[in-house]
Amino acid sequence: MIRALITFWNLHRISILLVMVGLVFYGVFGYELNRSDSIRLVTLFAALFFLSYKLIQFEKWNLRFMVGSGLIFRAVLLFALPNLSQDFYRFIWDGNLILEGLNPYLLTPDEWMTRGGPAFPAASELYQGMGSLSGAHYSNYPPVNQYFFALCAYLGGQTILGSVISMRVLIVLADLGIVYFGRRILKKINRAPHLIFWYFLNPLVIIELTGNLHFEGVMLFFFVLAMFLIVSGKWFLAVIPYAFSIGIKLIPLLFLPLLLPLLGWKKVSGFYMGVALVLGVMLYPLYFPEFSDHYSQTLRLWFSNFEFNASIYNLTELVAVSQGAKPWEFIKQYGAIIPVITAATTLIVCTHPIVRLSKYWFGAALLVICVYYFLATTVHPWYIIFPLLLSTFTNFRFMYLWSATIVLSYMAYGVEGVEERPWVLVVEYTAVFGFLIYEIIRNKRNLSAIAKNQVRTPAD
């Protein structure tokens, strides 16, 4: 036993030291960092990205070491309250409402509190923690997500820390599922299975999902499971996990049209009907006559009221304002055309014959979601984790760079509020667009290369 440990140390001592340093950095990040301490935040992120890069470089073929390292990094954060986002307070609030037999879509937290507040424990603390913006609006989290909130609140004894730990365990299990099915997809499309670790060990993923409790990871697990079943020829089994992915976060709706060339009319019609049926069943217990109005009110805000870390939007707004446009009017007009452009892009991509092959489908999905986020008025760091995962199934690496540079957006958070710095946006997006253009030129292809998901054609 001792000899085996000595041998293991001799073979992996550099990687073990990297993991030990990473543990310290993640501990500092989770328990000591204040979001307004921009320099420390960015420095820690940069150091963790370097450590992750070196770990993948040294141990990419060592499945147990890589999975173990990722789990250890996540375990360090188990008892930490999220320090970069306060959304988790609303998650727990909505979950507790369901446990009390109340509908989370019925009233805003402000309205609940004016009526004396719900009877569950820590209601006042959760209300204060979520902030005035969340408190003033109806819940925008889809029904399946609400059920997971309720499950975690129940497992956590309806306490804040207990609910946080339950959510964290659920998200970690989802990440493990992504590794398992992601590797199987990579093998099926003839790509190196270790590429999934560019997702699993990415500090943005660990901190935003496990650390800050965003449910993108749970959504991505169901999405990856569904896509594995589809590329395995078992599309009928993929209906439930795909519906669950939409029921957690709506973003997988973007890719429903892309399934048409992959499955064909007959299969995709059954798939669409199955997904709609599952979503209907999931929504039914929470439905009431005003549901659509309440839910759409909050949903519209993300397109026409909020702006954060945007790229193309900020450029177009700058031009529009210089021509006399009012910012608050322009964002509403701009927000209305984002779905149109995204839908048009999706339909155009669907016509490309190469999308019929599962090997190249993920590149098409990457193109569609990147168009959406490049146009979006709000791009929080955890939003790009979906395209980051999709990029692991392609030959394009600009998403890895974006996952590092988007951390700079946290520099907008100061002690006195949120104020974006134009030079930060310039640095972030110049790097991202510059590297994307470089990859396209290097591949000697136009933008369709992203949909083709290849560096060289078979003829090469």
The backbone region for 107, taken as left when phi is positive above 0, alpha when psi lies in -120 to 50, beta otherwise, is: beta
- The total number of structural domains in the chain stands at 1
Q: Determine the average pLDDT of the residues in 289-309.
A: 83
- In this prediction the pTM is 0.94
Q: Determine the average pLDDT of the residues in 322-348.
A: 90
What whole-number distance in Å separates Cα of residue 264 and Cα of residue 266?
A: 6
> Is the pLDDT at 361 greater than 80, yes or no?
yes
Helix (H) or strand (E) holding 69: helix 63-76
Which residues in 280-428 belong to E strands, given as ranges?
413-414, 417-418
Which residues have CB under 8 Å from 322's CB, separation 6+?
none
What is the pLDDT confidence band of residue 59, given thresholds at 50, 70 and 90?
very high
What whole-number distance in Å separates Cα of residue 418 and Cα of residue 168?
A: 27
Encoded amino acid at 146, one letter? Q
Q: Determine the average pLDDT of the residues in 443-454.
A: 52
Domain assignment of residue 382, yes or no: yes
Domain assignment of residue 142, yes or no: no
Q: Determine the average pLDDT of the residues in 12-40.
A: 94
Q: In 100-159, where does DSSP find H-type helix? A: 109-114, 123-135, 143-155
Domain assignment of residue 123, yes or no: no
Q: What is the dihedral of CA 335, 87, 387, 434, to 10 degrees?
A: 70
Q: Determine the average pLDDT of the residues in 275-293.
A: 95
Encoded amino acid at 395, one letter? N
Domain assignment of residue 110, yes or no: no
> Is the pLDDT at 459 greater than 70, yes or no?
no
Alpha-carbon 250 to chain mean position: 11
208 CB neighbour count, 10 Å cutoff: 26
pLDDT score for 276:
98
For the chain, the straight-line distance linking the first and the last C-alpha, in angstroms and rounded, comes to 51
Asked if residue 103 lies in contact with residue 208, where contact means CB atoms within 8 angstroms, the answer is no
pLDDT score for 6:
82
Q: At what angle do helices 143-155 and 160-188 cross, to 10 degrees?
A: 130
Beta-ladder partners of 384:
none
What whole-number distance in Å separates Cα of residue 7 and Cα of residue 362?
A: 41
Domain assignment of residue 459, yes or no: no
Domain assignment of residue 91, yes or no: no
How far, CA to CA in Å, does 211 sit from each of 94, 253, 325, 374, 405?
20, 26, 40, 25, 19
Beta-ladder partners of 418:
413
Q: Residue 274: which domain range?
A: 2-84+162-452
The candidate with the shortest Cα–Cα distance to 110, out of 141, 135, 140, 138, is 135
pLDDT-above-90 percentage for the chain:
81
pLDDT score for 71:
98
> Is the pLDDT at 460 greater than 60, yes or no?
no
What is the pLDDT confidence band of residue 417, given thresholds at 50, 70 and 90?
confident
Domain assignment of residue 230, yes or no: yes
Domain assignment of residue 106, yes or no: no
Mean pLDDT (the chain) is 92
Asked if residue 385 lies in contact with residue 217, where contact means CB atoms within 8 angstroms, the answer is yes
> Is the pLDDT at 457 greater than 80, yes or no?
no
305 compared with 345, residue with greater pLDDT: 345
pLDDT score for 444:
62
Asked if residue 74 lies in contact with residue 80, where contact means CB atoms within 8 angstroms, the answer is no
Q: 354 is written with which tokens? A: 């190469």
The b-or-e profile of 44-59 (16+ CB within 10 A means b, else e) is bbebbbebbbebbeeb
Q: Phi first, then psi: what are they for 48, rounded to 5°? A: -70, -35
Asked if residue 318 lies in contact with residue 426, where contact means CB atoms within 8 angstroms, the answer is no
Q: Phi first, then psi: what are they for 133, rounded to 5°? A: -65, -50
**Span 66-117, pLDDT tens digits:** 999 999 999 999 999 999 999 999 999 999 999 999 999 999 999 999 999 8
What is the pLDDT confidence band of residue 354, given thresholds at 50, 70 and 90?
confident
What is the pLDDT confidence band of residue 335, given thresholds at 50, 70 and 90?
confident
The b-or-e profile of 386-395 (16+ CB within 10 A means b, else e) is bbbbbbbbbb
What is the pLDDT confidence band of residue 454, given thresholds at 50, 70 and 90?
very low
